[in-house]
Amino acid sequence: MKDTRRRFVTAGFALFSALTVALPSFAQTAGKDYTPVMPVQATDDAGKVEVLEFFSYGCPHCADFNPQLHAWAGKLPGDVVLKKVPVTFGRAAWANIAKLYYTLEITGDLARLDSDVFRAIHGERINLFDDKVAAEWAVKKGVDPKKFADTFNSFGVMSKVKRGDQLAQVYKIQGVPALAVDGKYLVGGKDFNDTLAIADKLIAKARSEKAGKK
């Protein structure tokens, strides 16, 4: 966990510079409020503004951010979609909890258990990094044991984990949590509130850019 904190702090100073003045809508500064994604990445639905959160259940900062992010996401307009991307940074333990995320997504249990996973790891100190412990925990939480077993080590889940790490490399993610808007902007901010405020402005900017192309 200490390495996670160092990784986050390093990324924070590189990407999350503080705002010094109140900014009008769209008036963000590259390198200060956001980092341009180069090259621009395609999104799954060109008709919507896509927000990606790169995260890990193993990251304490992601655990702290999660309730605030979910509250923010619940107020997003219909043309904006939030997608979460668990990353591993090459760690076997984080790969297991990325697999847990996708397994719960496939079994249909993610919405009700997402916050519980963070709570189990960081509050209850349950070792969900271990696949056997994760399976036992999930079953206790009401996940169908056969569905979980069939899914956790499936080709589909492994492919999703690999794809998440590929996205993290393309977006040059150095620490989590990290937000990216519409394949173009890696969001900055001095704290979680600031990050979400900047994300709102970048969403508006991306929406305007889409409208200009029509």
pLDDT digits (tens, 9 = 90+) for 101-142: 999 999 999 999 999 999 999 999 999 999 999 999 999 999
Polymer length in residues for the chain: 214
Indicate if the alpha-carbon torsion angle 175, 113, 123, 145 is positive or negative.
negative
Name all domains of the chain by residue range, CATH numbers in brackets. 2-213 (3.40.30.10)
200: left (phi over 0), alpha (psi -120 to 50) or beta: alpha
Q: Which residues pair with 186 in a beta bridge?
A: 35, 180
Q: How many CA atoms lie within 13 A of 177 on its CB side?
A: 23
pTM listed for this prediction: 0.85
Mean pLDDT of 2-28: 39
Tokens of 90: 């090459």
CA distance 186 to 180: 4
For residue 187, pLDDT over 80 is answered with yes
Q: What mean pLDDT is predicted for residues 71-77?
A: 97
Give me the chain's average pLDDT, please: 88
Instruction: Identify which has the larger pLDDT, 212 or 99.
Output: 99
